[in-house]
Each structure stands twice: as structure tokens, then as C-alpha cells.
Amino acid sequence: MENNNYIQGLFGGLKTLCVGLKTTMREFFTKKITEQYPENRETLVMFDRFRGSLVMPHNEENEHKCIACGLCMTNCPNGSITVTSRTEEVDGKKKKVLDKYIYDQGICMYCMVCVRVCPQNAIDFDQSFENAVFDRSKLIKQLNQPGSKCQERKPVAKPAAPKPAAIETSNNQ
């Protein structure tokens, strides 16, 4: 029995070693995945989930979706987002309006919490990664474009309610 195990182990081991050798030999002839960066700058496409830098998408009429709720600011672990708002009077109602959305990329750690908590999907990460500058102050960016205003919300569509939270509450009940 002991001897049998020895022989079986020997041949089983040889077999697995051959599997490993086969795998690496196949890898030897596959196309290499190395990106030769400065040369392929024009054709380089970063993958979708890459977190380059925080942006606030604007539509053609220079409108963004931010309602200046400040959730991103309070949730940011590094305090790299500063949302300043002002109150405007529309149709006799007071309404909070985004004044400045300041993003300090120099202290951002790209955790993407701000994008996750945003109830309006107003901010997102793009794929631009060439952020080298000579002065840190150049990394402090204002994300809302000058003269932009908040998009009119449709009364029915309430986009992207945070689903995990909903499940959690139902579990608690």
C-alpha cells in the first residue's frame, strides 16, 4: 500500500509537471500583452473600469446633473471634494444650486466612493491618466463648467436608487 502510493505519487506528480510545462509553452507563443506606452499613445485604449480622474459629464446645452447635495463631499475619505452651493429663488421656492465643484486630484485616492453615493449619477471617472504636472495646485480642478446649470429633472424618473441599501433594509425587517 505504501509502495503503491509512492509509485502513484511519482507518476501523478510527473503528469502535473507536464501540464505546467504545456501551459508555459503555450504562453511562450501567445501574443504578448505589453503596452509600449509612449509609442502607442494614439491607439492606447484604457479599459472601461479604469479610474483616471473624476469628471462631471455635461450635455450639449451645458447642463450637468449635480444637485449640490454634498453627499460626495461628506463621503470622501480624503476630503478631496469641496462642493459650494448657493440658494436661488425659482418660482417663489428656494432651491439649492451648485456654485463650484472643486476636486483636488492631488489627494484623491480613487476609491470611487463619491461616484457610488451620488444619487443623480452626476459624476464619473474617465480614462485619462496623464496627470503629471509641475505644480500641485494645477491638480485642483473645478468640475462644473462655467455658466453651466443643473439639468431639469423629470418628475417621474428617479434614477439609480442604491439597491444594496434597499436589500439590507428588507433583510432587517
Partner 1 sequence: MFDLQNWTTALHEWMLGILPEWAAILIESVLVALIIITLYAVFAIVLIYLERKICAFFQCRLGPNRVGKWGLLQVFSDVFKMLQKEIIRMRKSDRFLHDLAPYLVVTASMLTFACLPWNKGGHIIDFNIGIFFMLAVSSIGVVGILLAGLGSNSKYPMIGAMRAGAQLISYEISIGLTMLTMVALTGTMQISEIVQQQYDNGWNIIRGHIPALIAFIVYLIAGNAECNRGPFDLPEGESELTAGYHTEYSGMHFGYYYLAEYLNLFIAAGIASTIFLGGWAPLHIAGLDGFNGVMDLIPGFVWFVGKTFFVVLLLMWERWTFPRLRIDHILSLEWKYLMPISLFNLLLMALVVVLGLGININ
Instruction: For the beta carbon of residue 89, count every other beta carbon within 10 angstroms.
Output: 8
State in angstroms the smallest separation of the CB of 37 from partner 1.
11
Q: Is 23 in the site for partner 1 (CB under 8 A)?
A: yes
Distance separating alpha carbons of residues 13 and 25, to the nearest angstrom: 18
| One of 17, 44, 133, 167 touching partner 1 (CB under 8 A) | 17
When asked if residue 24 is in the footprint of partner 1 (CB under 8 A), the reply is: yes
**Grid coordinates given for 137:** 495646485
Distance of closest approach, residue 12 Cβ to partner 1, in angstroms: 12
The one-letter code for the residue type at 165 is: A
Backbone angles phi, psi at 151, to 5 degrees: -65, 140
Is residue 1 close enough to count as binding partner 1 by CB under 8 A?
Answer: no
Residues 96/85, Cβ–Cβ less than 8 Å: yes
Stretch that binds partner 1, among 27-35, 85-93, 96-104, 151-159 (CB under 8 A): 27-35
Out of 3, 4, 34, 170, the residue judged to bind partner 1 by CB under 8 A = 34
